[in-house]
Amino acid sequence: MELLIDCVVSLPVKGFLGTGATFEADLNLVVQLAMAVALVAGVLLAKQKRYRAHGICQTTVLLLNLLMIGLVMWPSFRRQVTPRFARAFHRSYYAVPVIHAALGVAAELLGLYIVLVAATNVLPVWLRFRKWKRWMRTEFVLWLVVVITGVGTYYAWYIAPFR
């Protein structure tokens, strides 16, 4: 893990999308958009009743997202938003990532809960839900909103300041 963090830290500073973003921010944006496509593919797998493939697809995206949160998003949030949290809602530069982070935490926690219920017997019966479609659809819509606010964060941080 330490080697992976060292590799990410040593990546070039300038991004590859030509927006003023760092390499890590550009990479994260591309990975997040690819994961959004994978989530849609996972939904299509569920509609085809290919539940095992659906579960593998969605769980892989969930775990990859945890990695991206730990390596890219959380360090950026701490560096760029946390020191100015009291003024966070006065400018879109701070407001958009705060909203994105709050919704993202909710989506990630709900996703982890769904995986625990669907793939393990760790939780007692009274903590397990029964209406699968409702929870899965809620998670999917929440995740799409998080992706959109993530793109908004990218715009507020790396495109709007240079216009």
Q: Quickly state the pLDDT bin for 11 (edges 50, 70, 90).
A: low
Instruction: Please say if the pLDDT value at position 24 is more than 80.
Output: yes
The pLDDT of residue 86: 58
Average pLDDT over residues 84-100: 75
Write the DSSP string, 29-71. Answer: HHHHHHHHHHHHHHHHHHHTT-HHHHHHHHHHHHHHHHHHIII
Instruction: Please say if the pLDDT value at position 133 is more than 60.
Output: yes
- How do residues 30-72 score in pLDDT, each as one tens digit? 999 999 999 999 999 999 999 999 999 999 999 999 999 999 9
The pLDDT of residue 12: 53
